[in-house]
A = this chain, B = another copy of it.
Amino acid sequence: MLVAGQHFFPATDPYRLGRKSLAVNLSDLAACAAVPRYALLALALPEADEPWLAAFSDGFWSLADAWDVELIGGDTTRGPLTISVTIMGEVDAQHALRRDAARDGDALWLSGCTGEAALGLACLQDSDPAGEWAGALSAALTVAQRQQCLQRLEDPTPRVLLGQRLRGVANSAIDISDGLLADLDHVLQASGLRAEIELSQLPCAPALQQLNDQALQRRYLLSGGDDYELLFTAAPSMTSRIQGIADALQLPLTRIGTLVQAVGDQVGLIRLHEADGSLFHPQHRGFDHFGFDHSAVTRDQGEKRE
């Protein structure tokens, strides 16, 4: 369920919003290794705005057609702008990827990279002269970088083919919507494991590098949210097969850590290793569903700048 003012700005381009409302659901199916089949769309609109609805529908259908998804039902009603999509897909029960099937010793893999969508959200807030960014990002990033970040935020690419290719290869998977650490936590809790992550292995997009602020980079990489990349685990013996999938899909797949057996309160523990062997302790583990708290980010910045 996507709610205006919570999950997107009311003025968001409706074509992109139509795409994203289906994309985030396709991403859930991707994480299950399922083939998308059917969708239902329930829409509440403050008024019957024909041009908005036409653009939204065009966006929704552009992605539905691309993935051969049939719209089999739904609802339209008056109300605060709210989008609720239900999606159904198919996968053999024995091939379905789950959160609770990661194993001790599994390598932890990440598709693409994280953090650009959260930076895209910051770019949208940047133009507010009274806001916390107050134009600082416009100065720091190139136009192309800002557009790339906005595209990641507003028009994410669900990793549908990757999910299907991981059948019989990965032991578990999840898509990253709440941030890398928060979604990894779901896998660890469900599988009763803990994780060791090598920070130097985390892929970092050019726009994030450009910020030239390691604390901020890591905040976006680890806790940004809205990434819709797949985080999956597989036996180390699967490494060459996974590299083959990366080549075939022309999609970077990076091993970023290892999962380890855990007991008691160690379940869910995530240790973040610096290149020098020391541990990094993030201030914020997950994405706050009730709004991204930028105050902590800018406080970090401020301290560094002082």
Residues facing B in A12-58 (CB within 8 A) are 40, 42-44
A52-83 toward B: CB 8 Å interface, digit per residue (1/0)? 00000000000000000000010101111010
Structural contact, A3 and B79, CB atoms closer than 8 A: yes
Structural contact, A1 and B75, CB atoms closer than 8 A: yes
Structural contact, A84 and B1, CB atoms closer than 8 A: yes
- How many chain A residues touch the partner (CB < 8 A)? 20
State whether the Cβ of A241 lies closer than 8 Å to any Cβ in chain B: no
Distance A77 CA – B290 CA, assembled complex (angstroms):
8
Which residues from B are CB-within-8-Å of A86?
40, 42, 73, 86
State whether the Cβ of A289 lies closer than 8 Å to any Cβ in chain B: yes
State whether the Cβ of A294 lies closer than 8 Å to any Cβ in chain B: no
How distant is A161 from chain B, measured CB to nearest CB, in Å? 23
A/B interface sample: 6 pairs, CB < 8 A? A1-B79, A3-B82, A7-B77, A75-B84, A77-B289, A86-B86
> Contact residues of A with B, CB < 8 Å?
1, 3, 5-7, 40, 42-44, 73, 75, 77-80, 82, 84, 86, 289-290
